[in-house]
Amino acid sequence: MSEETVSVDNKSIFSIFNIITGIIVFVGVILTILRFTKGLGAVTNLSDTQPWGLWIGFDLMCGVALAAGGYTTSAACYIFGMKKYHSAVRPAILTAFLGYSIVLLSLLYDVGRPDRLMMAYPFIIQQGTTSLLFEVGLCVLLYLTVLLLEFTPIPLEWLGLKKARDIAVKVTMVLTIFGVVLSTLHQSSLGALFLIAPSKLHPLWYSPFIAVFFFVSSIIAGLSMVIFEGTLSHRAFHHKMDETYLAEHNPLVLGYAKAASLVLFGYFVIKLMGVAAGNHWYLLSTPYGIWFLVEVLGFVALPCFLFAIGARDKNLNLIKFTAVWSVIGIVLNRLNVCMIAFNWHLPLNERYIPNWMEVALSIFMVTVLILIFRFVATRMPVFYEHPDYKEH
């Protein structure tokens, strides 16, 4: 082997990405062992007052919302017949499948009982059909199964299993419809969970419409994440993309920007309706009210305007920036509901602040998602059409 080859191999192995990733994974494995051997108290600041922390607020609540690109893109392409978005379906499905897998992983860390997450226990042994958590758990489990089936054509093409791949493709429409129904249910039910805590959640975030807020904002998250993920993928996997994907990328970004602007406008209106319904206008002058205005004006009204300007002027850079800003806004909203505006009446010294190990494990989970995405995208037909199936 030549010296040039050795230097290239060493450069690829000891790249900044690999070194940082290796450190994160190493720390994550150590903390995982600590969590499952010493319990929640060893790695978290959770308590009876605040049983839901960062793993629920960020990994689960944000993860489910940001994985909504799967059902929004599939619905646009297969149900509404917008075939120009077809090239975005596979990346969106892969992102959604991995996102929901991380959601289940975060639940495993939070609950700490793998046997309690198995299907037999919550749905057969300990039935709770009157609980919203039961409905959320059932829908997430079923939708993860749907995403797995929607994802299977990718590895089946890679493995050369043509008959199995053809069968998987034939049920795409049924799976898409089922997936949209399930997503509508659990995206809204996650918000409805907080209806049982009117005294704990600040009045500006608590509303009878909170289930609608969560569902509509998940559509925004899905549209924005497709743009965001597509932007990152263009930089990292440009060499893996075929001409069709590259040609459809810019029209897709413009189309999603228009849709996101319209949905954000609707979301802004119903958020104001929520304040009006409770007659909570007087709270807007309080510190929490100012923070609420930062969320609604800075991360709902502003991206609505920017998406519209970007779509009108065909300014792709502005749209991509706004997509990132919108994603941050969705994360902010979920953290506000689950953590910042929750138990708002407690003094600051009694409020929940995540332990550094909780943050490190959340980063570890996201890193695992990125590594799996990278592995699949570099080896399987995600950003290009497999040559054996071009007319299928």
Domain that holds residue 331: 24-384
CATH number where 364 lies? 1.20.1630.10
Establish if 92 belongs to a structural domain. Answer: yes
- CA–CA separation, 240 vs 227, rounded Å? 18
Whether residue 10 is predicted with pLDDT greater than 60 in this model: the reply is: no
Interior angle at CA 136, CA 133 and CA 139, nearest 5: 145
- For 272-284, write each residue's pLDDT tens digit: 999 999 999 999 9
Task: Return the closest-CA partner of residue 236 out of 81, 68, 89, 374.
Answer: 374
Establish if 367 belongs to a structural domain. Answer: yes
pTM exceeding 0.95: no
Establish if 8 belongs to a structural domain. Answer: no
Establish if 19 belongs to a structural domain. Answer: no
- pLDDT band of residue 265 (cuts 50, 70, 90) is very high
Establish if 16 belongs to a structural domain. Answer: no
The chain-wide mean pLDDT, for the chain, equals 87
- pLDDT band of residue 290 (cuts 50, 70, 90) is very high
Lowest-pLDDT range of 194-198, 216-220, 240-244, 363-367 = 240-244
- For 335-389, write each residue's pLDDT tens digit: 999 999 998 888 877 888 899 999 999 999 999 999 999 999 998 999 888 777 7
> Where is pLDDT greater, at 173 or 2?
173
Establish if 339 belongs to a structural domain. Answer: yes
